[in-house]
């Protein structure tokens, strides 16, 4: 079975490509490498340079490569940038998802696994776990583009038979345990990546945005999932669709929250480096708690995470950064 992976040159995409190859799928990566890297693409996958908004080219690739399913990662994902340039985000992410759905329908490609995000939720002011039926109300344009993409896909099942699994990732971090792949993102805003860079001397300090939140230590709380566990979930989602599963939305997290200070302490511990931390005011649009209730995906896919361990996540991220 041939799978088209848009954004497969990116961080999560390239880890997933490896898992798909390991599971025996043929993989065609479709990417414009704006934030991705050719060298991240695992051996065995073919790269086609293209833009997801280019429906004609997408359609031709699906036809020529006899594609049966798509895993759609390609997107822009910097929240602050989406606030400054919302139209770039609607164009790239939402129009990209629309073009992708149209190309799938034209070519009778009936299965899509989509990268969504916890940012689709309104977020919680108090400590509770978000379920898939918690209210959606994104606080920034990036989250809106993802929710709109989810809706486009959801509405395609009945009239066109295009079935989809939308995976709502919480905070993704870490690197492959064999050290062969990890996060290459330039100017990353992800806390564990940023802290690992600081521990390696690539940044002067790590900022904490908000120390007066109503949490135990005053900093925001997030659910961190190891990239290898997340990549595996894409393989399981594809199997679910291939077995005839209906369109669904699933949270991808471990169901445990860690504060910004706890994460910084973990990176300091695994690296042995006491890097500088700078406390700054809250950022607009940041939620207090974003923690997944992941019982739905655990049950549907009989999934047990392998790397549900904050220190292990930080250790793999730090090892990758050092290398």
Catalytic residues: 142
> Does 35 engage in binding with ligand NAD (CB under 6 A)?
yes
* Total of residues contacting ligand NAD (CB under 6 A): 30
Q: Given candidates 4, 5, 7, 254, which one binds ligand NAD under the rule CB under 6 A? A: 7
Q: Which is nearer to ligand NAD, 273 or 308 (CB)?
A: 308
> Does 136 engage in binding with ligand NAD (CB under 6 A)?
no
What CA–CA distance (Å, rounded) separates 225 from 100? Answer: 27
Instruction: Please identify, among the stretches 82-90, 167-175, 253-261, 272-280, the one whose residues bind ligand NAD according to the rule CB under 6 A.
Output: 167-175
Write down the least CB distance from residue 88 to ligand NAD, Å. Answer: 10
Q: Given candidates 17, 19, 20, 36, which one binds ligand NAD under the rule CB under 6 A? A: 36
| Helix runs in the chain, H state only | 11-22, 55-64, 79-84, 86-89, 95-106, 141-155, 157-160, 191-199, 227-242, 260-271, 295-300, 310-322
Q: Which is nearer to ligand NAD, 172 or 266 (CB)?
A: 172
> Does 289 engage in binding with ligand NAD (CB under 6 A)?
no
> Does 91 engage in binding with ligand NAD (CB under 6 A)?
no
Contact letters for ligand NAD, residues 107-126 (x by CB under 6 A): --------x-x---------
Retrieve residue 141's tokens: 């344009």
Nearest to 242, CA basis, from 301, 172, 306:
301
What CA–CA distance (Å, rounded) separates 152 from 73? Answer: 15
- Return the half-sphere exposure (C-beta side, CA atoms, 13 A cut-off) of residue 31: 28
**254 neighbors 294 (Cβ within 8 angstroms):** yes
> Does 34 engage in binding with ligand NAD (CB under 6 A)?
yes
Contacts of 46 (CB under 8 A, 6+ apart): 27, 28, 29
Q: Which is nearer to ligand NAD, 143 or 272 (CB)?
A: 143
Q: Write phi, then psi, for 178 (nearest 5 degrees).
A: -85, 0
> Does 102 engage in binding with ligand NAD (CB under 6 A)?
no
Which 3-state string (H, E, C) describes 23-76? Answer: CCCEEEEEECCCCCCHHHCCCCCEEEECCCCCHHHHHHHHHHCCEEEEEECCCC
Q: Given candidates 3, 9, 70, 112, which one binds ligand NAD under the rule CB under 6 A? A: 9
> Does 96 engage in binding with ligand NAD (CB under 6 A)?
yes
Beta bridge mates, 169: 117, 252
Q: Which is nearer to ligand NAD, 21 or 95 (CB)?
A: 95
> Does 139 engage in binding with ligand NAD (CB under 6 A)?
no
Strand, helix or coil for residue 162: coil
Q: Given candidates 171, 181, 215, 219, which one binds ligand NAD under the rule CB under 6 A? A: 171
> Does 2 engage in binding with ligand NAD (CB under 6 A)?
no
Instruction: Please identify, among the stretches 126-134, 153-161, 169-177, 203-211, the one whose residues bind ligand NAD according to the rule CB under 6 A.
Output: 169-177
Window 44-83: residues binding ligand NAD (CB under 6 A): 51-53, 73-77
Strand, helix or coil for residue 263: helix
Residues found near ligand NAD in the complex (CB under 6 A):
6-7, 9-13, 31-36, 51-53, 73-77, 92, 96, 115, 117, 169, 171-172, 185, 190
């Amino acid at each position: 079975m041939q799978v088209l992976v848009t954004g497969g040159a990116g961080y999560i995409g390239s880890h997933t490509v490896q898992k798909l190859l390991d599971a025996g799928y043929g993989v065609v990566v479709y990417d414009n490498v704006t934030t991705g890297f050719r060298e991240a693409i695992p051996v065995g996958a073919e790269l086609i340079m293209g833009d997801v908004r280019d429906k004609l080219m997408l359609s031709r690739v699906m036809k020529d490569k006899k594609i049966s399913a798509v895993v759609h990662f390609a997107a822009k994902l910097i929240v602050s940038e989406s606030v400054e340039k919302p139209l770039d985000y609607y164009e790239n992410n939402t129009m990209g998802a629309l073009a992708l759905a149209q190309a799938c329908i034209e070519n009778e490609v009936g299965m899509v696994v989509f990268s969504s995000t916890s940012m689709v939720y309104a977020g919680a002011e108090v400590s509770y776990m978000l379920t898939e039926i918690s209210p959606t109300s994104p606080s920034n344009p990036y989250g809106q583009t993802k929710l709109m993409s989810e809706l486009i896909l959801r509405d395609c099942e009945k009239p066109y038979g295009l079935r989809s699994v939308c995976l709502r990732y919480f905070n993704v971090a870490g690197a492959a345990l064999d050290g062969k792949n990890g996060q290459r993102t330039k100017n990353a805003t992800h806390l564990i990546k940023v802290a690992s860079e600081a521990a390696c001397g690539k940044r002067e300090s790590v900022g904490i945005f908000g120390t007066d939140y109503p949490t135990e230590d005053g900093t925001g709380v997030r659910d961190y999932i190891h990239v290898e566990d997340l990549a595996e979930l894409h393989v399981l989602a594809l199997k679910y669709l291939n077995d005839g599963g209906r369109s669904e939305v699933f949270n991808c997290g471990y169901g445990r929250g860690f504060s910004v200070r706890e994460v910084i302490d973990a990176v300091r511990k695994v690296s042995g480096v006491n890097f500088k931390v700078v406390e700054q005011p809250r950022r607009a649009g940041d939620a207090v708690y974003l923690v997944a209730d992941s019982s739905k995906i655990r049950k549907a896919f009989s999934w047990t995470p392998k790397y549900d361990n904050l220190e292990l996540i930080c250790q793999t991220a730090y090892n990758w950064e050092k290398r």
